[in-house]
Structure 1
Amino acid sequence: MTGRTTVAHRILQFNEELAETTLELPPGFTVINPFNGPQKERVREVTTAFYHKYYDDDRPRRLVLGSSPARRGTAVTGVPFEDAKLLEDETGVDVDGYAVSRPSADFLHDVISRYGGRGKFYADFVMSFVCPLGLVRTNSKGKEVNCNYYENKKLLELLGSFLVDALKRQLAFGVDASVCYCIGSGENFAYLTKVNEGQRFFRRIVPLEHPRFITQYNRDREEEFAEKYLSAFRGQGD
């Protein structure tokens, strides 16, 4: 052993640490943790195959950070922003039995393809979250719905130290901290910017509109937003 580990090893170790994480939340809120949930063995198989496929090296990459995993997205696969069906189709990883197709994943799939494909994209970036565990809340009808860490003042207060520690641990992947891309140009960007002012994690943070906002409310502007993503990722306009 040389003492140096690969990016894949560091990310998978981070996931194992998340599997052991417990969080105190306000009443009505629940954590969705794919790494210790009912499909944890399947998630471990998928994530191990994915990260060894694309991250078995020690080169620095830039972080792309969303807010938190969606309960029917990353909370299913364990791979940030990767839809289960696309994982199966595009990487050869067998995730049969729980494939979920989502417009957000389709938008990012298109951007990644235009960037140069998965091999090129994942050689340059690591996709993750400010809050790397999923959150749901029980609505007035008694149903669980997706929730973001910043939606409730008490929730954010309880999660604060976990969020900062999670960012520190993700920087330990060996990332290029000159720039971070924030998916979610509203409250996610505002919170990450505030934390960064105190912690100085990144030299610069670039906000990008969330794919859900694009695909649900600005379908006719998808091309414009895709070009914005590509321009940012390629470092144009720096």
Structure 2
Amino acid sequence: MNGRTTVADRILQFNEELAETTLELPPGFAVINPFSGPQKERVREVTTAFYRKYYDDDRPRRLVLGSSPARRGTAVTGVPFEDAKLLESETGVDVDGYAVSRPSAGFLHDVIRRYGGRERFYADFVMSFVCPLGLVRTNPQGREVNCNYYENKKLLELLNSFLMKSLERQLTFGIDASVCYCIGSGENFSFLSKVNESQRFFKKIVPLEHPRFITQYNGARKEEFAEKYLSALRRDGD
């Protein structure tokens, strides 16, 4: 890509590279790739509209990294932590019928609203994943269920090179690497911290509890966790 590029250009180019990505996985595991799947044209339309709206500049932003996309959420829409209804209202693209609103997205969008709204939040942050493609496994009942890159030793071993390249690649978006916010204070934070010890991608990593953990198991403490998110995000990267 010649000449000046925006953050939107870089993210959309990364998505195009993901469309060409194939991964070797253990038996019983599969990838959900929204950028090469049956809805790829609509995904391209949605992601282009979204990133052009919020990232059409060269402003440095901090990364907020989840573990991997949910199979009925980001793994279908292509936009991290966005659900179908909000994407439709934001981009004007009809995404009904192939994604669902999720509690995790609801919690995060409340945090975004309280941070100052979507324009302000997306001017400061890029939301993404350690593993930017969705992963599923077949359970004993024969049904596909979400899984994370760290759930299986062999899976992590096979994905390791892809994860490293993806992290390096996402830093080229024009990221302020003084701090990274890690959604998932357990295994995702543990893996990212271990990687960072050797690679020094970020000056520091701040762990934040996963919204699913908050909404499903600690609903009564939602306000407490929202304030924790806001306190962390409002700090400077120093």
> With structure 2 as the length reference, what TM-score do the two structures score?
0.97
Q: By how many angstroms is 1:237 displaced?
A: 11
Q: By how many angstroms is 1:5 displaced?
A: 0.3
Q: By how many angstroms is 1:4 displaced?
A: 1.9
Q: By how many angstroms is 1:89 displaced?
A: 2.7
Partner of 2:64: 64
Partner of 1:136: 136
| Moved beyond 3 Å, runs of 4+ | 90-93
| RMSD of aligned Cα (Å) | 1.4
Partner of 2:8: 8
Paired residues for 1:27-38 under 5 Å: 27-38=27-38
Partner of 1:122: 122
Partner of 1:146: 146
* Percent of residue pairs identical: 87
Q: 1:233 to 1:211 in 2, by over 3 A?
A: same
Partner of 2:19: 19
Q: By how many angstroms is 1:75 displaced?
A: 1.0
Q: Matches of 1:28 and 1:173 in 2, distance apart?
A: 33
**Aligned residue pairs: how many?**
238
Partner of 2:190: 190
The answer to whether the 8 A contact 1:231-1:237 is kept is no
Structure 2 unaligned blocks of 5 or more: none
Partner of 1:97: 97
Partner of 2:52: 52
Q: Matches of 1:147 and 1:99 in 2, distance apart?
A: 18
Structure 1 unaligned blocks of 5 or more: none
Q: Matches of 2:144 and 2:156 in 1, distance apart?
A: 19
Q: By how many angstroms is 1:103 displaced?
A: 0.7
Q: Matches of 2:195 and 2:67 in 1, distance apart?
A: 14
Cα deviation 1:156-200 (Å, max 9, x = unaligned): 000001000000000000100000000000000000000000100
Paired residues for 1:146-225 under 5 Å: 146-225=146-225
Cα deviation 1:66-108 (Å, max 9, x = unaligned): 0000000101110000111121234434323324111111101
